[in-house]
C-alpha cells in the first residue's frame, strides 16, 4: 500500500524559506506513470495546487507561486521536496503531498499524505 | 486560470436523502473533472475521476456526470459517514484548480 508522509518545521519566520519533504513508501518515486504534487490548504479554506513534478525532474508550478517555489526529487531516498521562499502569514496552511496520475483519464490525485501544518509567524 | 464554482456552498440533509452537488467550470474542460471528499483533519480522498469514473473502493452510491462546463456529484442515499466537505477539481490545464468546496451537514 502506497504511503506518503510529509515532514518539516511547523513554524517558519516571515521572509524565510519553508522546506518540506515528502517520503514515499510502498511504491517507487521512479514510476513514470505518475507525477508527485504539493497542495496546500489555509486553515478553514479550500485547496490550492502548488506544483507537480515527475521523477525525472520535469515540473509545473502554480503561476501565482512560481517565483517562490522549487520542487525536487531524490529517487535514491524516494523523496520529493518543496521549498517556498519569502514566506508571509498568507502561506500558513496545511501542506499535502500527493500522487497524481500522469496518463490516467482524470489526472487525479489518488494518494495523499496526512498533511503537515506550517505556520508563518515571528 | 480556469475557475471552478460549486453550488451550494453548504447543504443540510438527512441520512437516506439523495443529494446533488454542482460544479461549473469557467471554460470547457471536456471530462477532466475529479471529485474529492474531505473530512475534518484528514486529507482529501478521490471519489470520482474523469467526471464519471468511480475510484476503486468508493461505494456505488456516489456517482458523477457531466462534460464541458457543467458537472454533478450525486450521493444516492446519504450515509452517516458521508457528512464531509466535497471539492471538484479540473485537470484540463496544468494549472489545476479546485472548487471552493461544499460542506454537507446533518439536518
Q: How far B33 CA sits from the closest chain A CA (Å)?
A: 7
Residue B56, pLDDT > 90, answer yes
The minimum CA-CA distance between B79 and chain A, rounded to whole Å, is 23
Q: Do A105 and B50 touch (CB under 8 A)?
A: yes
Picking from B2, B5, B46, B1, the residue whose alpha carbon sits closest to that of residue B22 is B5
Query: Chain B contacts of A110, Cβ < 8 Å?
Result: 46, 49, 55
Beta-carbon separation of B91 and A108 below 8 A: yes
For residue A5, give the nearest of A118, A121, A100, A111 by alpha carbon.
A111
pLDDT of residue A103: 83
pLDDT for residue B33 is more than 90: yes
Mean pLDDT within A17-23: 98
Range B18-27 burial, b when 16+ CB lie within 10 A, else e: ebebbbbbee
User: Any chain A CB within 8 A of the CB of B14?
Assistant: no
Residue A105 has a pLDDT of: 82
| pLDDT tens track for A67-109 | 999 999 999 999 999 999 999 999 999 999 999 998 888 899 9
Provide the sign of the torsion angle of the four alpha carbons B72, B95, A37, A92, taken in this order. negative
- The minimum CA-CA distance between A122 and chain B, rounded to whole Å, is 25
- Give me the mean pLDDT over the A17-33 stretch: 94
Query: Distance between CA atoms of A27 and A18, rounded to whole angstroms?
Result: 26
- How would residue B65 be classed by pLDDT, with cut points 50, 70 and 90? very high
* Cβ <8 Å between A47 and B44: yes
Taking an 8 Å cut-off on Cβ atoms, the answer to whether B32 and A107 are in contact is yes
Distance from CA of A62 to the nearest CA of B (A): 6
In this complex, is the C-beta atom of A96 within 8 Å of any C-beta atom belonging to chain B? yes
Residue entry with cell 511547523? A10
How high is the pLDDT of residue A21? 98
pLDDT at A2: 95
What single DSSP character describes residue B41? T
Amino acid at each position: 500500500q502506497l504511503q506518503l508522509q510529509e515532514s518539516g518545521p511547523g513554524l517558519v519566520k516571515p521572509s524565510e524559506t519553508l522546506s518540506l519533504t515528502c517520503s514515499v513508501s510502498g511504491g517507487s518515486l521512479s514510476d513514470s506513470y505518475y507525477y508527485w504534487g504539493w497542495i496546500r490548504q489555509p486553515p478553514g479554506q479550500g485547496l490550492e495546487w502548488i506544483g507537480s513534478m515527475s521523477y525525472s525532474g520535469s515540473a509545473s508550478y502554480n503561476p501565482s507561486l512560481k517565483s517562490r517555489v522549487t520542487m525536487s526529487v531524490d529517487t535514491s531516498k524516494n523523496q520529493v521536496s518543496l521549498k517556498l521562499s519569502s514566506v508571509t502569514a498568507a502561506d500558513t496552511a496545511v501542506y499535502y503531498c500527493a500522487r497524481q496520475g500522469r496518463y490516467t483519464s482524470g489526472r487525479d490525485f489518488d494518494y495523499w499524505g496526512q498533511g503537515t501544518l506550517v505556520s508563518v509567524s515571528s | 486560470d480556469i475557475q471552478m464554482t460549486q453550488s451550494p456552498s453548504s447543504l443540510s440533509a438527512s441520512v437516506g436523502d439523495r443529494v446533488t452537488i454542482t460544479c461549473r467550470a469557467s471554460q470547457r474542460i471536456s471530462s477532466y473533472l475529479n471529485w474529492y471528499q474531505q473530512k475534518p483533519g484528514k486529507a482529501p480522498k478521490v471519489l470520482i475521476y474523469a467526471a464519471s469514473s468511480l475510484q476503486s473502493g468508493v461505494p456505488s452510491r456516489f456517482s458523477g456526470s457531466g462534460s464541458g462546463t457543467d458537472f454533478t456529484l450525486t450521493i444516492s442515499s446519504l450515509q452517516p459517514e458521508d457528512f464531509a466537505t466535497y471539492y471538484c477539481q479540473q485537470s484540463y490545464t496544468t494549472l489545476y484548480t479546485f472548487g471552493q468546496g461544499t460542506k454537507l451537514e446533518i439536518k
